[in-house]
Amino acid sequence: MSKVQMLLSVKKQRLTAAAEEIFALFEQTIAELEEELSLSKEENERLQKLLDAVLQPQLRIHRADVQQLVVVKEEPPPDQQEREHQPRPGGPRAPPTH
């Protein structure tokens, strides 16, 4: 084998190895992008369901032991309650006597 043929053979081997490495990296990148796309689709579906629930609220109880409705009665603070039960300073007055 002449030197030229040997150099061409070595060049072909190196180019083949480089092409195989590039192809493997390409396949890996495609797999990563497909996984990311799948996760993005799942996240979009979750967010769409959340948005639908906000825009179209409906009471949905799947299991009574998991979801409970709680009614909270708000009361004014104690100092405000006291003021409501006391007469106002500018309230009705007795008419002046002459």
- Please indicate, yes or no, if residue 67 is contained in any of the structural domains: no
Q: What percentage of the chain has pLDDT greater than the value 90?
A: 52
pLDDT 10s digits, 10-39: 999 999 999 999 999 999 999 999 999 999
Q: What percentage of the chain has pLDDT greater than the value 70?
A: 59
- Please indicate, yes or no, if residue 93 is contained in any of the structural domains: no
Alpha carbons 7 and 13: distance in angstroms, whole number: 10
- Please indicate, yes or no, if residue 70 is contained in any of the structural domains: no
Is the pLDDT at 8 greater than 90? The verdict is yes
Please name the residue that has the structure tokens 């192809």: 23
Total structural domains within the chain: 1
Task: Please indicate, yes or no, whether the overall pTM of this predicted structure exceeds 0.85.
Answer: no
Helices vs strands, H then E, count in the chain: 2, 0
- Please indicate, yes or no, if residue 5 is contained in any of the structural domains: yes
- Please indicate, yes or no, if residue 92 is contained in any of the structural domains: no
- Please indicate, yes or no, if residue 88 is contained in any of the structural domains: no
Do 12 and 5 touch, CB atoms closer than 8 A?
no
